Amino acid sequence: MTDVLRRGRASLAFSFFAQGAAFALLVTRIPAIQDRYGVSDALLPAFLAAVPVLAGVGSVTTEKLVRRIPPSRLLRWAQPVVLLALLGVGAGDATVELAVALAAFGLAVGALDASMNMLGVSLQQAYGRSIMLSFHAVFSLGGIVGASLAWVGAHWDLALFVSYLPVVAVLLPAAFVGSRWYVDGGAADEPVAGGEASAGGGVVFKALLPLCLVMTFAYIGDSTVSNWSAKYLEDVLGSSEQLATVPYNVYMVTTLIGRGLGDFGVRRFGAVTVVRVGAVVAALGFAVVASAPGAWVGMLGFTLLGLGLCVLVPQTFAAAGRLFPGASDAAVARLNVFNYVGFLIGSPLVGALGDAWSYRGAMLVPMVLVLVTLVYARSFAAQPDRYGGGHERPRTADVGRGSNGL
């Protein structure tokens, strides 16, 4: 059983890595994609918004499918579609080909995100201790690798297809082979905790709503950094164009560090404390960015943002699994939709406030939203399983069958 869990954890971690790399390769080459297909500045936002919208559709569809199909099987096939869709983005010539490739990417990435986190939550339940942050740390590592490879492609002026092909050629077979060891959890067989939180083993949205809000606020903060950090540093804080590219890289590195250490914090102090500290540190980061007199202080703020925001999303998924142990897959899929809601809201919100008011003032809005997380911090408490605070569960879980047994 221990070997099954270890193989399942390693194969799922690689899936997170591959997804982080693929997503970074897409979003960091948007200017090159726009040039290749001749997409106008007016039309580009529609293409970009379509991806998270379709990802939300994919996540909702996954919630329905897992009633009949194990998450491991969905993940096994969703990941290749994401990688092939990325390759399709680089291979097409006409705008309609770009639209088809992005649509496939969006739908598949919704199923991929949902099923990955379903398996992560069930593995955490099987381990009886916090491991969810480690999966998201590997996602951050994949993002750093993907962004670095994208920089190489841009630096050497490589065609998109040439830039994407070696990455897909390596990740696609590795992910497919690794999918043999995915482990489906036995969450559906466990008793449901908290009668008011679950009805007949289902998900009561009212009980899930606080976590949905936290997820939305976290991704509003994350999209603010990814979409506005370079512009803010250059236009507001007067940095050079080269220096303006640094904050997002720093943010990704600190996200990796924070998630790499976060599970130890949850085990020692409990999820509620880690979430509260993360929210406060993230809010402090936004405050530093908003008041920064120059570029270097601004980068300090973005560093704090990485350390604070990085713990919120993984712990939100983990909390959903604890809140609905009899329906964790459905809870994770529904919660995952608010990932894309936050992404869709964050960038336009900051842009509109920046144009109408000021970009310094705009940074205060995600700061306040992140602080609202403190109101809902108790939603991250154990229900009744406790990971952290010296109360880890010594138990052997029914982790179901590996996907190769399906």
Mean pLDDT confidence for 155-184: 95
Q: 113 and 19 in contact (C-beta within 8 Å)? A: yes
Pick the CATH number of 191-390 from 3.40.640.10, 1.10.3720.10, 3.40.50.970, 1.20.1250.20: 1.20.1250.20
What confidence tier does 33 reach under pLDDT thresholds 50, 70, 90? very high
Interval 221-265: pLDDT, tens:
999 998 899 889 989 999 887 788 788 888 999 999 999 999 999
Read off the tokens for 406: 């399906």
CATH architecture of 1-182: Up-down Bundle (1.20)
Tell which phi-psi region holds residue 198, choosing left (phi > 0), alpha (psi between -120 and 50) or beta: beta
Tell which phi-psi region holds residue 182, choosing left (phi > 0), alpha (psi between -120 and 50) or beta: beta
pLDDT at position 281 is: 98
Q: Is 202 helix (H, G, I), strand (E, B) or coil?
A: coil
The CA distance from 77 to 375, in Å, is 39
Residue the block writes with tokens 């920089």: 151
Percent of residues, the chain, with pLDDT higher than 70: 90
pLDDT at position 276 is: 97
Amino acid in position 278: G
The pTM for the full model equals 0.89
Domains 1-182 and 191-390 share a fold: yes
The number of residues in the chain equals 406
Provide Rg for the chain, Cα atoms.
20
The CA distance from 212 to 305, in Å, is 20
Interval 174-215: pLDDT, tens:
999 999 999 997 533 343 333 334 434 578 889 999 999 999
The CA distance from 312 to 282, in Å, is 10
Interval 282-305: pLDDT, tens:
999 999 999 999 999 999 999 999
- Listed by start position, the domains of the chain span 1-182, 191-390
Angle between helix 95-127 and helix 132-155 axes, rounded to 10 deg: 150
